[in-house]
Amino acid sequence: MFADMEGLIRAGSPEAQLLEELDSQRLPAHIAIIMDGNGRWAKNQGKDRIEGHRRGAETARLIVEVCARLSIPILTLYTFSSENWKRPTREVNALMNMLYENLLQKAALLEQHKVRLRMIGDPVRLPAKLSRKLREIETMSKDFSAMTLNMALNYGGRQEILHAVRELIASGAKPEDISHESLRRHLYTGDIPDPDLVIRTSGEQRLSNFLIYQTAYSELVFSKELWPDFRVLPLLEALTQYQSRQRRYGGI
């Protein structure tokens, strides 16, 4: 596993030590991350909030590459929530433009590491050029199987459940026919396993409407690092925490 991280960590570093201690057979199959703290990072640095988002995008690219090299099958990033539209128009527009530019830059990384890109969320409010680029890269990467990267865009957990219920009703399902399995099939994540590990950065300890159905038995790790500072070491620390826990799913 260490060889797979060549160029990202130095021999003898704390990152290298943690990597050597990890059990490669017990890594999570699905990691979901709430990328929080871009604005606070910018404020601490005396910079504009948009610069915080720009640095956060750099961190996202790094974490995608690290997870791909670690052979994590599924990574889900909470990229833009359905509540984020409440932010100032200037910030929202900058975020949408940044997402588009990052997709252009990320396409080569996805192809290099054979990562499939998928969007989860409601695409209706997204700018047309961003929606087109998302569809283009989803199509380009649909047969890549090394890892699936889910970008949660205009995503909200309650909105997702409501969407699934409406689809079930529209399909003619009777109350007695509705089960956990049928509901799951209509979620945005209906064909992928629930997250084993959810990481939230910036020290906040809540899910903020993120995958609220799917995280019933996920392990939660709250990192004090603001997202732009969440690099290889805090990710490996989160994986170490995950491997120190016993998952009982309500049993003994």
Catalytic residue numbers read: 36, 84
H-helix segments, 114-202: 128-141, 157-170, 180-185
- Measured between alpha carbons, how far apart are the two ends of the chain, in Å? 32
- Give the closest residue to 236 by CA, choosing from 12, 76, 37, 23: 23
| One-letter amino acid for residue 250 of the chain | G
Question: Distances from the Cα of 3 to the Cαs of 9, 10, 29, 94, 201, in angstroms?
Answer: 10, 11, 21, 38, 27
Contact 120, 152 (CB under 8 A): yes
Cα(31)–Cα(215) distance, rounded to whole angstroms?
Answer: 11
Distance CA 19, CA 16 (A): 5
